[in-house]
A and B are shown apart, each in its own frame.
Chain A
């Protein structure tokens, strides 16, 4: 039952994505200033939004684990952090490609990309910490606290980089200025939904894997105790 649901979610997301890509590549004209590469927007920005969505679920889940000590919350947290990190990585890579085409450089230290890089490093640390702790309760508590620390840093980093006013070559944020062509909004929003669905499917797969791993570990311990 659960597997069917996961497959349905993933398939739905994939189909939506394919439909969206079809629209993006065949229906829409090239963007005036950027040319063909402007279409990168449809993956680049939704990836970042999806990442933040999953990071938010992760921190809520972490707090729930600290209070309830139910390992389902811990598994949910790590699954969400992993998916979020993957999306952040997609965001970084697409951003880099975009930059290479537009400005000729692989990495421009602009405000937004630096924030994204920092997020990536923060949550990479989380993923590095987990295997280093073998005892599940300890691992769960430490990961939860690290997730809270990491999440609290995101707004502060955004503040810091905004103040520092790093060379803002980054195209003006379309969500804030609303300067996006009206015909581009539907694929953009659909892109977010599609990525969220795919991400959720991946997260559920990871969640199932975590639960199975925990069961195996506990059975192994019981066996040793006999």
Chain B
């Protein structure tokens, strides 16, 4: 029923609980904006959902293929853009990695520099390549950790287009973010993570769109 389900997830780093019984249920086709202050546990939760980390307690269910975009861009500096995407296509088990790579490069507008080394790209180009990598295999579920952070306007536009396309194609998206405005435009649902617990989860309302800080004020802890 749910595309992504996290039930009573705890994650300990040593004896410190970064996640304290986090519950998250995301329906297929939804776009969830995961909000929360730094240290609330957003990255930890996303990493667990992406299977990069084991939960100390609790169950995770993910129905479908994953695409993950974390803090690092996740491309090799010493391979060309095309080589990078062909490699990741092969690792995703695609039937025709070269074809998929070319198509992905076109969608992000990097076809002209397909044979350039990733290390020579500008920051915005590298980010677009990272986005191409995450969307390469048309995943059913996308997990994005603060994807809009330090993107230039061109990259933001590309990402928003790709996200909208993915949603239209039936993908499920979970994205953690501080850039509330960009996220709220795309989001169908929001969740607020505070000290390792999901303190609010529900549909995105017009109120939230108009005043993105509203959620923090009403459901979050008051600043110390």
Contacts and interface: CB of A to CB of B under 8 A. Distances in A.
Contacts of B16: 218, 221-222, 225
A137 B39 CA distance: 18
Interface string B67-80: 00000000000000
A69 interface: yes
Nearest to A226: B224
A132 to B, nearest CB: 15
Interface string A114-141: 0000000000000000000001110000
B39 A221 contact: no
Nearest to B57: A69
B14 A214 contact: yes
B214 interface: no
B158 to A, nearest CB: 36
Contacts of B13: 135-137, 221
A137 B44 CA distance: 14
Contacts of B207: none
Interface in A168-226: 214-215, 217-218, 221-222, 225
A213 B173 CA distance: 41
B56 interface: yes
A136 B15 CA distance: 8
B15 A218 contact: yes
Nearest to B16: A221
Contacts of A225: 16, 39, 195
Interface string A51-72: 0000000000000000001010
A217 B195 CA distance: 19
B172 to A, nearest CB: 29
Nearest to A136: B14
Contacts of B14: 71, 135-137, 214, 217-218, 221
Contacts of A217: 14-15
A69 B15 contact: no
Contacts of B12: 137
Interface string A132-159: 0001110000000000000000000000
B56 A221 contact: no
B220 to A, nearest CB: 16
A214 B39 contact: no
Interface string B184-203: 00000000000100000000
B221 to A, nearest CB: 11
Contacts of B56: 69
Interface string B2-19: 000000000011111000
Interface in A66-82: 69, 71
B44 to A, nearest CB: 12
Nearest to A140: B14
Contacts of B15: 71, 136, 214-215, 217-218, 221
B40 to A, nearest CB: 11
B16 to A, nearest CB: 4
Contacts of A137: 12-14
Contacts of A136: 13-15
Contacts of A221: 13-16
A37 B12 CA distance: 54
A137 B14 CA distance: 5
Nearest to B195: A225
A60 B128 CA distance: 48
A221 B15 CA distance: 8
Query: Closest 6 A-B residue pairs measured CB to CB?
Result: A218-B15, A136-B14, A221-B16, A218-B16, A135-B13, A218-B14
Interface of A: 69, 71, 135-137, 214-215, 217-218, 221-222, 225
27 contacts: A69-B56, A71-B14, A71-B15, A135-B13, A135-B14, A136-B13, A136-B14, A136-B15, A137-B12, A137-B13, A137-B14, A214-B14, A214-B15, A215-B15, A217-B14, A217-B15, A218-B14, A218-B15, A218-B16, A221-B13, A221-B14, A221-B15, A221-B16, A222-B16, A225-B16, A225-B39, A225-B195
Given A217-B14, A217-B15, A221-B14, 20 more contacts: A69-B56, A71-B14, A71-B15, A135-B13, A135-B14, A136-B14, A136-B15, A137-B12, A137-B13, A214-B14, A214-B15, A215-B15, A218-B15, A221-B13, A221-B15, A221-B16, A222-B16, A225-B16, A225-B39, A225-B195
